[in-house]
A = this chain, B = another copy of it.
Amino acid sequence: MLIFEHSRPGRFNYSQSPAKPASKSAIPQNLQRKSKVLLPEVSEMDTVRHFTRLSQKNFSIDTEFYPLGSCTMKYNPRACNSLAMLPQFLSRHPLAPEDTGQGYLACMYELQEILKSVTGMAGVSLTPMAGAQGELIGVMMIRAYHESRGDFERTEIIVPDAAHGTNPATAVMCGFKVVEIATDKDGNVDLGALKAAVGPKTAGLMLTNPSTLGVFEKNVAEMSRVVHQAGGLLYYDGANLNAVLGKVKPGDMGFDVIHINLHKTFSTPHGGGGPGSAPVGVAERLLPFMPIPIVAKDGETYRWITEKDKPQSIGRLSAHMGNAGVLLRAYIYVRLLGLDGMHRISEFATLNANYLMAELRKAGFEIAYPNRRASHEFIVTLKDIKDKTGVTAMNLAKRLLDKGYHAPTTYFPLLVPECLLIEPAETESKETLDAFVTSMKEILQEIETQPDMVKGAPHAMPVRKLDDVKAAREPDLAWKQGA
């Protein structure tokens, strides 16, 4: 039942707005709204009840195991939420003077420094509001770098075929042409293809490492050499940084610019689809181009770096300081983890992934890259199962929901057929992984004995399988009164 269906004309929450009619008005008649605003007219209690009940229809980290590959669904510490929401932080206006925000700015500065340290980069800007914006900003810096050298011929960005869709989309948004290169049978980027692709038009290479295939690009040093020799720059997509944090620094691998998904590696909440946050880090030569604002420390005082300090900056990419509250949460998280905790993220994420891969293999599932170590994620392919039974990766995914598990990522990366990309994250216990394996085995059994039941999944959710095709063909995107 939609909130609008609880609505009755004239119902009103008197506590929630000014009691008296406003005493003054000077709005010209011709600018005043005549049409009715269709916001719901619902009591406070019914609003609370509606949204509380809606929330219960969600799977979430706080309620279910959520092995969604490439998304790093780890525990979001509750302290990060409550401390980032201290009333002084919440009430601070973004344009309030710097001297009324030294506490907040100190947190931001220290976060910049810690991120520089763990990534091996020379500078960090916290402004990007999501991974895709981090990419945009990173590629903009690549463009700015080349153009600052008077090099306007570099019109191509190289992207592996296994990359997230954001990589090619970003390159295009930045005005580049995308050159896609293939993956070899072990899941590495095809080095020959890369060598063939680079040249005077190469602005840069965008790489995720470990890759979206769940394996470490063994040849990354060589790739770096090839691209740099051609005059291009290396972009590190930090989507999988969780897998190597404290083990390998992107800076040491030769990357010139990176983004770091705080909502993955640094455990800020995913919030049903954002807000994310994706600081960018740069090597020395890209420092002048970084987006503002950045926090500087002069003596014991913190201040914003602005256009005056960085005249070559690519500029501003958000109205204020990106997703400031998300940054605070990440700051609290890194302080809770500390040095030791940082190392352990990748160690235990990798342990969980390799254990789960081993157990699923034993259970009879086909691993896409059976000869490789898993990074913090790995791929199961159901191609054989589909050929034999017609049961697809999507069917299995939906059946997992019935068993109380969020499904792994399905049909990504695109180059592995009927794939499930599984990422258990370091905060899950062995018992949870074991119980998941047990459920996967049960489904394998069900596929043999009752394939149609599996194809009809889910059966235990608030709704059965939803009609995506109808949704796209006859778009119903907003409730209208009387409709």
A56 at the interface (CB under 8 A from B): yes
Per-residue interface assignment for chain A, residues 1 to 20, with 1 indicating a CB less than 8 Å from any chain B CB and 0 otherwise: 00000101001000100000
Task: Chain B residues near A6: list those with CB within 8 A.
Answer: 429, 431
| A63 CB contact (under 8 Å) in B56, B75, B427 | B56
Task: Chain B residues near A75: list those with CB within 8 A.
Answer: 43-45, 48
Task: Chain B residues near A64: list those with CB within 8 A.
Answer: 49
- Complex Cα distance, B431 from A46, in Å, reads 11
In the complex, the chain B residue whose C-beta lies closest to that of A64 is B49
Task: Assess whether A429 is in contact with B62, with CB atoms less than 8 Å apart.
Answer: no
Question: Which A residues from 428 to 447 make CB contacts under 8 A with B?
Answer: 428-429, 431-432
Task: Assess whether B429 is in contact with A8, with CB atoms less than 8 Å apart.
Answer: yes
Task: Chain B residues near A62: list those with CB within 8 A.
Answer: 48-49, 52
- Complex Cα distance, B45 from A155, in Å, reads 47
A270 nearest CB across to chain B (Å): 14
A347 nearest CB across to chain B (Å): 15
- Complex Cα distance, B43 from A432, in Å, reads 12
Task: Assess whether B431 is in contact with A45, with CB atoms less than 8 Å apart.
Answer: no
Q: A6-B431, A429-B8 are in contact. Are A53 and B48 (CB under 8 A)?
A: no
Task: Chain B residues near A52: list those with CB within 8 A.
Answer: 62-63
Task: Chain B residues near A53: list those with CB within 8 A.
Answer: 63
Task: Assess whether A46 is in contact with B78, with CB atoms less than 8 Å apart.
Answer: no
| A44 CB contact (under 8 Å) in B46, B49, B63, B77 | B77
- Complex Cα distance, B427 from A201, in Å, reads 69
In the complex, the chain B residue whose C-beta lies closest to that of A42 is B429
- Complex Cα distance, B336 from A124, in Å, reads 47
Task: Assess whether B427 is in contact with A45, with CB atoms less than 8 Å apart.
Answer: yes
Task: Chain B residues near A8: list those with CB within 8 A.
Answer: 429, 431
Per-residue interface assignment for chain A, residues 44 to 85, with 1 indicating a CB less than 8 Å from any chain B CB and 0 otherwise: 111011001100100001111000000000010111000000
A74 nearest CB across to chain B (Å): 8
Task: Chain B residues near A45: list those with CB within 8 A.
Answer: 61, 75, 427-428
Task: Chain B residues near A336: list those with CB within 8 A.
Answer: 15
Task: Assess whether B77 is in contact with A43, with CB atoms less than 8 Å apart.
Answer: no
- Complex Cα distance, B42 from A428, in Å, reads 11
- Complex Cα distance, B15 from A79, in Å, reads 10
A61 nearest CB across to chain B (Å): 7
| A43 CB contact (under 8 Å) in B11, B61, B429 | B429
- Complex Cα distance, B159 from A136, in Å, reads 77
A284 nearest CB across to chain B (Å): 36
Task: Assess whether A15 is in contact with B48, with CB atoms less than 8 Å apart.
Answer: no
- Complex Cα distance, B45 from A79, in Å, reads 12
Question: Which A residues from 291 to 338 make CB contacts under 8 A with B?
Answer: 336
Task: Assess whether A63 is in contact with B43, with CB atoms less than 8 Å apart.
Answer: no
In the complex, the chain B residue whose C-beta lies closest to that of A51 is B62
In the complex, the chain B residue whose C-beta lies closest to that of A79 is B15
- Complex Cα distance, B72 from A65, in Å, reads 38
Task: Assess whether A43 is in contact with B427, with CB atoms less than 8 Å apart.
Answer: yes
In the complex, the chain B residue whose C-beta lies closest to that of A7 is B431
Q: A52-B62, A56-B56, A62-B49 are in contact. Are A77 and B429 (CB under 8 A)?
A: no
- Taking A43-B75, A45-B61, A46-B432 as known contacts, 7 extra A-B pairs with beta carbons closer than 8 A to each other, sorted by chain A number, are A8-B429, A15-B336, A44-B75, A49-B61, A52-B62, A53-B63, A56-B63
Q: Could you write out 25 A-B pairs with CB less than 8 Å apart?
A: A6-B429, A6-B431, A8-B431, A11-B429, A15-B77, A15-B79, A15-B336, A43-B75, A43-B429, A44-B75, A45-B61, A45-B75, A45-B427, A45-B428, A46-B432, A48-B78, A49-B61, A49-B62, A49-B63, A49-B64, A52-B62, A52-B63, A53-B63, A56-B56, A56-B63
A interface residue numbers (CB < 8 A to B): 6, 8, 11, 15, 43-46, 48-49, 52-53, 56, 61-64, 75, 77-79, 336, 427-429, 431-432
In the A-B complex, list the 6 residue pairs whose CB atoms are closest, starting with the nearest. Answer: A45-B75, A52-B62, A45-B427, A52-B63, A48-B62, A53-B63
